[in-house]
Amino acid sequence: MNDSSWEPVIGLEIHVELNTKSKLFSSAPNRFGDEPNTNITVVCTGQPGALPSLNKEAVRKAVQFGLAVNAKINLISHFDRKSYFYPDSPRNFQITQYDEPIVIGGAVIVDVEGETKIFGIHHAHLEDDAGMLKHFNTFAGVDYNRAGAPLVEIVSLPCIHSAKDAVAYASAIRSIMLYLDASDCNMEEGSLRFDANISVRKKGEEILRPKIEIKNMNSFHFLEIALNEEIRRQISLYTENPNQIWEKLVPPGTYRFDPNSKTLVLMRRKESADDYRYFPEPDLVPIRLTQEYVDSIQSALPELPQDRYRRYITTLGLSEHAASVLINDKPLSDYFEAALRLYPNPRLLCNWIMVEFTGRLAEGGKTILSLGIPPANIAKLAQMIDENRITSRIAKSVADDMVKNPLLDPETIVKNNPDYQPVSDPSEIEPLVDQVISENSQTVADYRAGHEKAFAYLVGQVMKKTRGKASPQVVNELLRKKISIALS
Amino acid sequence: MTKKLHHLSALELNRAFIEGQIRAVDIAAYFLDRIQIHNPKLGAFLSILAERALIQAEAIDLKRSQNKPLGRLAGVPIAIKDNMHILNEITTCGSKFLKNYRAPFDATAVHLMEQEDALILGKTNLDEFAMGSSNENSAFFPAHNPWNVKCVPGGSSGGSAAAIGARLSLLATGSDTGGSIRQPAGLCGVVGFKPTYGRVSRFGLVAFGSSLDQIGPITTTVADAALAMEVIGRHCPQDSTSLTLPPESYLDTLNNTNLSEITFGVPWHFLENLAPESRTNFSNSLDVLKGLGAKIIDIDLDICKYAIAIYYILATAEASTNLARFDGIRYGERSSQAKILDDVYELSREEGFGAEVKKRVMLGTYVLSSGYQDAYYKKAQKVRTLVIRSFERAYDRCDAVLLPVSPSTAFPLHSIHDPIQMYMQDIFTIPANLAGLPAISVPSGFDNNGLPFGLQFIGPQMHDVPVMQYAHAYEMATLYTRKIAPAFEGT
């Protein structure tokens, strides 16, 4: 999007599948990946005479989310029937919350490339998911395993003005859900899905131009490509046809993103507004919450990603980049926290976890977590470095060995390898120091002339001769003593 | 046994069984015989579960012989309206759509009764999906009135009321959305009780209008209805609208009322257009109650003149979505003509549903449509609230409201063609559904053609027990419940 005189206006609807044990209105397991139509009860297949009964755990998770984004929790909310016919909908109406959702308002604060942005939430509501159609050669089938799975749908305000911001907002929602342990947010399994409403307008224009909807994207990458593609399309339509009626250029419609062609495919034009004939679900009583209940959830909220981000920067002294990478990868961040509890040197641990080990594993597609290296071993490694029990050079070799043998702890690795034992006996090191001084008389002179850097060079030369095994502390002491003596 | 079994009440038969005077298998065989003989002309049963009843009877006999504790309904023959599930049996709802639908679970009410050792004889006829007031909307065949088989038994629980009226069973379940228990009970000269909304679980009842539907018993006496309520009036976690109250004691307190301390309210203005013969019968009933010491006052329930209008908006709105699941995809009728998905929906519903059901689904869809919802559905909800308020005001001044059950006695089959006239059948029963109130229909005499009238007691919410006490007092003073339709008195 090169033309800076245009402003995209984007609203996101994010569907998050909650990780409750059972479904929203039945005792059927809420589990992905099983044989079709095994996780079902009479409620999930819409049998006549079956009645929904509300899963309290799903309500609790929705309230947790609301509190996490500082929203108002509606103490009385209710469910509505949303009518439409489709084979994956077992009753041909969805049970959702239409005019009294459980979560109202709220906002997400996100750092986008160093800039702090606030994205407003209109509301979030509970609803049940549909089943899944499966197409075979000569027929289609429906798998109702997902039917009735609990969803929270989070509807943003139309306050997002670029594809990048949309991704940042969606990532923040995902992080919050993960930190609350409210969803596994598994994108491949469809636990996190995005619908986007998008229009563009001239900067400064008050009114909104016609919008289109892109449905059911399940990757941040696709979300970004799809939005950018649509922004580009709309701007070029308006630019090329400045006098055409907007609604003719961008007629309202529903699209889906085709990941193969990376283009938007029209699903249907919205000739008139869809009529879902919403009305209150008579089979469910309203959800009534007490303020005490809400307060108790509030006081038990876990640390949220933005709080952790701030703590990493202000208390732990991590860089913004490191903090941001860590909080957006909750398992890695939790791993870091576990190591930190055992050995409180955050910057050293962060460096080893995020730079050293990540670098070693980058090619194999593994992570420090998938490899199964216990956080205690990373903590131990950092401690050994800090205590000068190994040099940082040896530490790197130890790390190589830890990658090869993920369960081996660094102390054992060092103990079993004579090459990793640091040389700290001055009598062994002294001859090498003497050798370096005599070989580098000019550098010694520089040091004596007040160039502190020259000293580091000399240390490096000694270390080189010991193949990194000498204790830097001993080398320092010997060297400093000798050059100073010569001076006097 | 000196008395014929079908002249006994459920309580009496249960006692006879417990005392060892008769075996359960003989009870089952006796009533199955009666069904064999009389059902062809009554059309009360859609299916007869003879084998199931006899197996259950043998099990109960064995229990008794082993001195094991016997259930509250031990040996009592019961009939289940065919819109309630019995596990592994067919539930048709009186519809072609479900003619082969085998229930995958027990309705809570059915389960509770079978747990108490009741003998389920079969499933009874009804208007398709409980939509109707005459049983003529059954997709299979109409049911007939035991007092005159040329007349309708009422509806929608017409099969259950006819079965009890003809003593083919001693207890039957009904479901009441706008009068479907009380109106047929009234027309068949038996007792029908609609409990407070939420008193009996709706789990396993195929829904018509979810916010109005309520299961209740149809019996020959008020005491039998009390017995049934003690069994089925229980909280059920599978129905969110089920009341979270402990079960009530009905039988022990049935005689506890002194009507001289009771005030009944009669909305005279609302009854302005009542036909003379019905008015006379109603006045006679008031005299009986006055004779028992009750005070009768005039109350204002004029708002109820809108009851039918708002009922046919709210009930059909709910029904249009409740019946959306009948789409030919998962179960029930699927048209063999269907080529594409839309055909499956349209043709299966076209072929599977009867005219009245289609009409109500269309009406319900219309009143919920955008642009019309405010004028119809939402306005009707507001009027419903006014009906509730109106009853609340009335109960400030009286203990229960008295109304006839229906405007007239049973009418001949195929005699009412105007749908509005048919809908008017429920003018006196619908208000209790709109306000969720407990209401009972008790026999109150006969017209010149020997067809039964019914009197209705409507109490405040949760006052199920007092309502039954008043009805019991009236029953004891009149003994109309002892009358059996002449054609069915003998074997």
DSSP notation for B401-428: EEEESSSSS--BTT----HHHHHGGGTT
User: CA nearest B193: which of B212, B210, B214, B163?
Assistant: B214
> Over 50: is that where the pLDDT of A488 sits?
no
pLDDT in tens, B144-155: 999 999 999 999
A42 touches chain B (CB under 8 A): yes
Residues B403 and B360 in one domain: no
Mean pLDDT of chain A: 92
Are residues B249 and B118 part of one domain? yes
Indicate yes or no: CB of B104 within 8 angstroms of CB of A85: no
Q: How far is CA A114 from the centre of its chain?
A: 17
Please give the backbone phi and psi of residue B164, each rounded to the nearest 5 degrees, phi first: -75, -40
User: Contact A48/B368, CB-based, under 8 Å?
Assistant: no
Give the gap in angstroms from C-alpha B261 to the nearest C-alpha of chain A.
36
Query: Does residue B389 lie within any of the structural domains?
Result: no
Confidence (pLDDT) at A362: 80
Share of chain B above pLDDT 90, in %: 99
Per CB-CB distance under 8 Å, the chain B contacts of A42 are: 104-105
pLDDT of residue A114: 78
Instruction: Indicate whether B373 pLDDT > 90.
Output: yes
Question: How far off is chain B from A21, nearest CA to CA, in Å?
Answer: 18
The count of CB pairs under 8 A between chains A and B is 94
Give the pLDDT band (50/70/90) at residue A423.
confident
Rounded to 5°, the CA angle B183-B188-B193 comes to 50
Q: How confident is the model at residue B418 (pLDDT cuts 50, 70, 90)?
A: very high
Q: Which residues of B are catalytic?
A: 81, 156, 180
| CATH class for the domain made up of A426-487 | mainly alpha
Residue A3 pLDDT grade (very low, low, confident, very high; cuts 50, 70, 90): low
For residue A414, the Cα-to-chain-centroid distance in whole angstroms is 36
User: Other C-beta atoms within 10 Å of A368: how many?
Assistant: 27
pLDDT of residue B2: 65
Q: B240 and A87: CB-CB below 8 Å?
A: no
User: What is the distance in angstroms between the Cα of A179 and the nearest Cα belonging to chain B?
Assistant: 32
Stronger pLDDT, A468 or B438, i.e. the higher one: B438
The answer on pLDDT for A2 being more than 60 is: no
Instruction: Select from A53, A87, A91 the Cβ nearest to the Cβ of B240.
Output: A53
Same domain, B142 and B238: yes
Say whether both B154 and B106 belong to one domain. Answer: yes
| Res. A228 pLDDT band, cuts 50 70 90 | very high
User: CB-based contact (8 Å) between A285 and chain B?
Assistant: yes
Last residue of a domain, one of B346, B378, B410: B378
State CA B111 to chain mean position distance: 18
Contact across the interface for A54 and B324, Cβ inside 8 Å: no
B210/A50 CB distance under 8 A? no
Chain A residues in contact with B240 by the CB 8 A cut-off are 51-54, 283-285
Biggest CA pair distance of chain A: 101
Residues B319, B460, single domain; the answer is no
Residue A459 has pLDDT above 90, yes or no: no
* Average pLDDT estimate for B11-19: 97
- The shortest CB-CB distance from A285 to any of B205, B240, B341 is to B240
Does any CB of chain B come closer than 8 Å to the CB of residue A338? no
Q: Rounded to the nearest 5°, which phi and psi values hold at A316?
A: -95, -15
Instruction: Taking residues A434-443, report their average pLDDT.
Output: 88
Beta bridge partner(s), residue A93: A83
Look up residue A44 and give its two tokens.
């999930």
Query: pLDDT for B424-463, tens place per residue?
Result: 999 999 999 999 999 999 999 999 999 999 999 999 999 9
What is the reported pLDDT for A274? 77
Q: What is the mean pLDDT of residues A52-69?
A: 98
pTM: 0.90
Instruction: Give the pLDDT confidence score for residue B483 in this predicted structure.
Output: 96
For residue A83, give the chain B residue with the closest CA. B321
Contact check, Cβ <8 Å, B341/A93:
no
A457 CB-contact burial (10 Å; exposed 0-12 / middle 13-18 / buried 19+): middle
Q: Please list every residue in chain B whose beta carbon sits closer than 8 Å to the beta carbon of residue A50.
A: 105, 203
pLDDT band, residue A272 (cuts 50/70/90): low
- Specify the 3-state DSSP secondary structure of A96: strand
Chain A residues with CB-CB distance to B84 below 8 A: 49
Distance of alpha carbon B107 from alpha carbon B113, whole angstroms: 10
Residue B218 covered by a domain? yes
Q: Does A139 touch chain B (CB under 8 A)?
A: no
- Residue B286 is assigned to a structural domain of this protein: no
In the block, which residue shows the tokens 């759509």?
B97
Q: In chain A, which residues have their Cβ closer than 8 Å to the Cβ of B345?
A: 85
Nearest to B369 among A54, A85, A275 (CB): A275
Q: Number of folded domains in chain B? A: 2
**Least confident span in A427-441, B116-130, B164-178:** A427-441
CB contact under 8 A, B202 and A87: no
DSSP readout, A31-75? Answer: -SSSSTT-S--TTTTT-TT------HHHHHHHHHHHHHTTPEE-S
Taking only the tens place, the pLDDT of each residue in A85-133 is 999 999 999 999 999 999 999 999 988 887 889 999 999 999 999 999 9
Least confident of A75-89, A252-266, A268-282, A368-382: A268-282
Residue A315, pLDDT > 80, answer yes
A272-A276-A277-A282 Cα dihedral, nearest 10 degrees: -170
User: Distance (Å) from the C-alpha of residue A3 to the closest C-alpha of chain B?
Assistant: 40
Mean pLDDT computed over B217-227: 98
Task: Specify the residue for token string 């000569």.
Answer: A138
Q: Of the candidates B104, B241, B321, which has its C-beta nearest A93's C-beta?
A: B321
The widest CA-to-CA distance across chain B, in whole angstroms, is 69
Sign of CA dihedral A405, A406, A412, A418: positive
pLDDT score of B180 more than 70: yes
Name the E strands within A181-316: 192-202, 212-217, 253-258, 263-269, 279-280, 287-288
Q: Alpha-carbon distance B491 to B488, whole Å?
A: 7
Domain ranges across chain A:
6-291, 330-420, 426-487
Contact A83 B207 (CB under 8 A): no
A91 touches chain B (CB under 8 A): yes
B interface toward A at CB cutoff 8 Å? Answer: 84-85, 91, 93, 98, 101, 103-105, 107, 202-207, 209-211, 237-241, 317-318, 320-321, 324-327, 329-331, 341, 345, 365, 368-370, 373, 377
Q: What is the CATH number of the domain that holds B213?
A: 3.90.1300.10
Q: Is residue B20 part of a domain?
A: yes
**Does any domain span residue B296?**
no
Looking at the complex, does the CB of residue A272 fall below 8 Å from at least one CB of chain B? no
pLDDT of res. A273: 64
CB contact under 8 A, B203 and A49: yes
Closest residue to A54, CB basis, from B103, B240, B377: B240
Q: What's the mean pLDDT in A239-254?
A: 93
Q: Do A93 and B324 touch (CB under 8 A)?
A: yes
Q: Determine the residue type at A484.
A: S
Does B111 lie in the same domain as B152?
yes
Query: Is B276 inside any structural domain?
Result: no
The secondary structure of residue B260, as a DSSP letter, is G
Nearest Cα residue in chain A from B324: A92
pLDDT at A296 over 80: yes
Which structural domain, as residue segments, surrounds residue B43? 5-261+399-488
| % of chain A surpassing 70 pLDDT | 98
- Asked if residue B372 and residue B425 are part of one domain, the reply reads no
Task: Flag whether pLDDT at A1 surpasses 50.
Answer: no
**How far is the alpha carbon of A74 from chain B, nearest alpha carbon, in Å?**
20
